[in-house]
Amino acid sequence: MEKDIHHSPGDEQEILKQAIKDRAAFRPIYEKYFKDIFLFVHRRVGDKQTSADITQQVFLKALTQLDKFQFRGVPFSAWLYRISLNECHDYFRKTKKLRYVVVEDFQVDDLLEEMKSEEKSPDLLDRLQEILQKLSPPELELVELRYFETLPFRDIAEIYGITENHAKVRLYRVLAKLKKIYLTYEPQD
């Protein structure tokens, strides 16, 4: 009988310890996080098959490097997201393809609220995608992790290997830049 890893981080930690000795014990972790990691990768890559390949690579890398994972009070998923970001970066570096940005309507509200914008025009999604492309890749990544993946600052800090406070400072600087771009934005025809 498999343990239900949805109850507590302690259960997940125990499963991960078992998986170091017996790789088959990793299956519940894979099943718990596969969909989230796949969607995370797909929102960056935009192709289902490529996303599936990268996601498999993420889990393979996590499994083979499991003994390097350290429990620091954050979910194991933060480590998976870090590996995913690195795999996506490798993919874009190797293929020379452009980075894909997906902005969905339900994700816009929180971002606009943070930017203190009340506007909700019909072309907002198109405009916002163009504006987001003006950010540097690390800045865009930070916005995506917080607003599109809805990760808490604690997890973002773990992904980047920085303090939670530093993650907040970085994001608020990016939001200030984004707001400035947004307010001076002239659509491309």
**Total structural domains within the chain:** 2
Domain range spanning residue 51? 9-95
pLDDT at 4: 40
117 and 78 fall within a common domain: no
113 and 56 fall within a common domain: no
CATH number, position 155: 1.10.10
165 and 112 fall within a common domain: yes
First to last CA, the chain: 59
Residue 66 corresponds to which tokens in the numbers above?
């499991």
CATH number, position 51: 1.10.1740.10
119 and 73 fall within a common domain: no
90 and 126 fall within a common domain: no
What size, in residues, is the chain?
A: 189
147 and 69 fall within a common domain: no
**Non-local CB neighbours of 59 within 8 Å, separated by 6+ positions:** 30, 34, 37, 80
Look at residues 49, 66, 95 and tell me which one is the last residue of a structural domain. Answer: 95
25 and 84 fall within a common domain: yes
Q: Do the beta carbons of residue 102 and residue 182 sit within 8 Å?
A: no
pTM of the model: 0.71
Look at residues 95, 114, 136 and tell me which one is the last residue of a structural domain. Answer: 95
| pLDDT tens per residue across all 189 residues of the chain | 333 434 455 677 888 888 888 888 889 989 999 999 999 998 888 889 999 999 999 999 999 888 888 777 777 888 899 899 999 989 988 887 766 666 665 566 677 677 666 555 556 666 777 788 888 888 888 988 888 888 889 989 988 888 999 999 999 999 889 888 877 766 665
Q: Do the beta carbons of residue 16 and residue 63 sit within 8 Å?
A: no
**Non-local CB neighbours of 127 within 8 Å, separated by 6+ positions:** 121, 185, 187
- Alpha helices by DSSP H, the chain: 9-21, 27-45, 48-64, 76-95, 105-114, 124-132, 137-143, 153-160, 164-183
Q: Do the beta carbons of residue 185 and residue 127 sit within 8 Å?
A: yes
Q: How many CA atoms lie within 13 A of 31 on its CB side?
A: 12
